[in-house]
């Protein structure tokens, strides 16, 4: 079965940052159920994962980061809904993930921290409101390639291309 390239008008998901409150949007680019390959774009600002905060009451991530990953998870949840409607998605498999960050200005933050944000958002459980659950735990990711460049986007959002391939 050949990969299906979906056009923006074929999906019921906002495809520009202007279409979504808060400026988060996504677009399914291709999906092949048989080989477990999906490619999608996220149009949103990507906040690098910060250092955990340590207090006398424990360790936690800052609330603005938790809010950001929740919004990204909800956005990525739209993609998961499309995958389920087109044959399903096995979130318990093992994966290779490629991330391409493209922004108006070079994205700030280290590449590993940018990647961590996407990985955290991709594992938000479906029990949470509109969570993505593209994988149940980021320990399932055996391969990770991360790239960034200056190019498309605006000062307020970037184009992040996510490619996920199931490992047979």
Which CATH number characterizes residue 154's domain? 3.30.1330.70
DSSP 149-164: EE-SS-SS-EEEEEEE
- pTM beyond cutoff 0.85: no
Q: Do strands 158-166 and 95-103 pair parallel, antiparallel, or not at all (unpaired)? A: antiparallel
Domain that holds residue 43: 4-166
Lowest mean pLDDT among 7-11, 23-27, 29-33: 7-11
Count Cα atoms within 13 angstroms, Cβ side, for 23. Answer: 11
Number of structural domains in the chain:
1
Given a cut of 90, whether residue 11 has pLDDT beyond it is: no
């Amino acid at each position: 079965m050949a990969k299906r390239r979906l056009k923006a008008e074929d999906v019921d998901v906002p495809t520009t940052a202007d279409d979504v409150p808060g400026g988060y949007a996504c677009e399914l680019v291709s999906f092949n159920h048989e080989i477990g390959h999906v490619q999608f774009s996220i149009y949103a600002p990507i906040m690098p994962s910060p250092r955990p905060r340590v207090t006398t009451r424990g360790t936690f991530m800052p609330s603005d980061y938790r809010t950001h990953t929740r919004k990204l998870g909800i956005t990525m949840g739209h993609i998961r809904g499309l995958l389920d409607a087109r044959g399903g998605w096995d979130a318990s498999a093992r994966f290779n993930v490629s991330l391409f960050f493209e922004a108006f200005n070079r994205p700030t933050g280290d590449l590993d921290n940018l990647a961590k944000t996407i990985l955290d958002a991709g594992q938000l459980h479906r029990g949470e409101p509109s969570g993505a659950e593209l994988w149940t735990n980021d320990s399932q990711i055996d391969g990770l390639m991360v790239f960034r460049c200056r190019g498309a986007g605006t000062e307020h959002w970037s184009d992040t291309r996510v490619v996920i391939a199931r490992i047979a």
